[in-house]
Amino acid sequence: MKTLYLECNMGAAGDMLMAALLELHGNPEDFLNRLNSIGIPHVSITAAHINKCGISGTHIDVRISDVHHHHHHHNDHNHIIEHLKISKTIKKNALEVYKILADAESRVHGVPVDKIHFHEIGEMDAIADIVGVCMLMDELAPSTVLASPVNTGSGSVKCAHGILPVPAPATAHILKNIPIYSDEINGELCTPTGAALLKHFVKEFCKMPPLRVLGLGYGMGKKDFEKANCVRAFFGTDGAIHNDCPIGAEEVTEFVCNIDDMTPEAIAYAQQLLLREGALDVCVTPTVMKKGRLGQVFTCMCNNATKEKMLSLIFKHTSTLGIREYVCRRHTLQNEQSEVQTEFGPVRLKTSHGYGVTKSKPEYEDIAKIANEKGKSIQEVSIFPFTSNGG
């Protein structure tokens, strides 16, 4: 399982989170080129390596070319995000982060969400930070995201509404039910945008679990303090891995055995049982064994956590006397399922995304059911333009 752990000892801001994740990306230059081409108005995003307290990391610079600064409404930003050239999943995540921000501002100021003026958290640089983080999360595709308790800083901060205590009221509202603390550092360490991104993506705020680290990213903030002003991102796995296992690769185990004395029904039973018990995949391949006998190659792929269980089940439910074990690297896309309405009725749509690609495919059982009910062929039903609105 791929785990992303965010260390927020110096709080979190949108640009710091994006910079930390960018250092984990296999091709930062290509990512920035794509981020700059999605259509955020008047925005140019660059990255530079800087040094704070002797530590080298990445700093994100978002520049606004429009000299006129406007305060935008909540719905303005929804409209901008909806029209960006990004996948449906990334849009969904970005809009949900903005909803967290809007709800917080609405609650703090007693103003309906559609009347909110975002000021500093609603300018184009915030859209760049939010969409950039959502894109990186999509492409890194961690199985789970964890974070440390969040340092909010102390003192006061000047914003569009006046001088406010740290954490700012909107930030404090977003951070409800999240473990936070304040130390001797005077200043705002956690911004509303940073808080909203953490709220949306982080599954649990805790101490770092045992983790075999594959990649480490430092996202540098704008201000200088006695402590290095950065977010650290640890990317790794809790399972055993090879030292050269690349980022984004998950280690799995394959068990393989040759069988020539089982009936097709018994092999099919063993295959389905292993899948029900948690195997990632089980396949059976025809082969020719010694002395020209026809047989089957029985292959079971599983997570390292379930390998002993799978090994026992294979010995119990097949006739094999020996099993070969292989350690493999598996690269996967994130999967989600939605329902689309078609001229034939509702169909479940499987969408896979990550690594900069999106693929969609209708659920076979739904297509087969429609073909049977309508008296049509699978091909006739499948020509309906199923899409995932990939942007």
Question: Residue 243 domain-assigned?
Answer: no
Same domain? For 221 and 132 the reply is yes
Q: Structural domain of residue 339, as residue ranges? A: 334-382
CATH of residue 270's domain is 3.30.70.1380
Q: Tell whether the model's pLDDT for residue 119 goes beyond 70.
A: no
Of 57-71, 97-111, 300-314, the range with the lowest mean pLDDT is: 57-71
Provide the pLDDT for residue 212.
Answer: 85
Residues 150 and 261 reside in one and the same domain: no
- How much is the pLDDT for 105? 83
Say how many CA atoms lie within 13 Å of 141 toward its Cβ. Answer: 22
Which range (12-16, 271-275, 348-352, 368-372) has the least confidence?
348-352
Instruction: Judge whether 244 lies within some domain.
Output: no
pLDDT on residue 122: 46
Same domain for 314 and 374, yes or no, is no
Task: Answer yes or no: do 63 and 188 share one domain.
Answer: yes
Do 80 and 93 touch, CB atoms closer than 8 A?
no
The pLDDT of residue 161 is 62
Residue 288 in any domain: the answer is yes
- Predicted structure pTM score: 0.62
Q: What mean pLDDT do residues 138-150 have? A: 94
Q: 247 vs 275, which has greater pLDDT?
A: 275
Residue 245 in any domain: the answer is: no
Checking if the pLDDT of 368 tops 70, the result is: yes
Are residue 233 and residue 86 in the same domain, yes or no? yes
Q: What is the pLDDT of residues 302-330, one digit of tens each?
A: 988 788 999 999 999 999 999 999 988 88
Q: Are 61 and 95 part of one and the same domain?
A: yes
pLDDT of residue 1: 72
In the prediction, which pLDDT does 148 show?
A: 96
- Does some domain include residue 178? yes
Q: Are residue 122 and residue 57 in the same domain, yes or no?
A: yes
Same domain, residue pair 316 and 197: no
Mean pLDDT value of segment 48-76: 77
Q: Which pLDDT score, from 0 to 100, does residue 168 have? A: 87
Q: Mean pLDDT in the chain?
A: 86
Same domain, yes or no: 316 and 347: no
Residue 389 has a pLDDT of: 42
Q: Is a pLDDT exceeding 80 seen at residue 38?
A: yes
Percent of the chain past pLDDT 70, that is, above it, reads: 87
Let me know the angle formed at the C-alpha of 318 by 266 and 298, rounded to the nearest 5 degrees: 90
Q: Does pLDDT of 118 surpass 60?
A: no
Q: What pLDDT, on the 0 to 100 scale, is given for residue 242?
A: 47
Residue 123 has pLDDT above 80, yes or no: no
Verify that 176 and 256 share a domain, yes or no.
Answer: no
How many structural domains is the chain composed of? 3
From 205, 237, 269, the end of a domain falls on 237
**Domain assignment of residue 389, yes or no:** no
More confident position, 160 or 103: 103
Q: How far is CA 276 from CA 28, 308, 313, 370, in A?
A: 40, 16, 11, 27
The answer to whether residues 292 and 342 belong to one domain is: no
Question: pLDDT tens, 187-244?
Answer: 899 999 999 999 999 999 999 988 888 899 999 999 999 899 999 999 998 754 444 5
As a whole number, mean pLDDT of residues 159-167 equals 76
79-95 tens-digit pLDDT: 899 999 999 999 999 99
Residues 6+ apart with CB under 8 A from 356: 34, 139
Q: Are residues 79 and 212 in the same domain?
A: yes
Would strands 153-154 and 150-151 be described as parallel, antiparallel, or unpaired?
unpaired
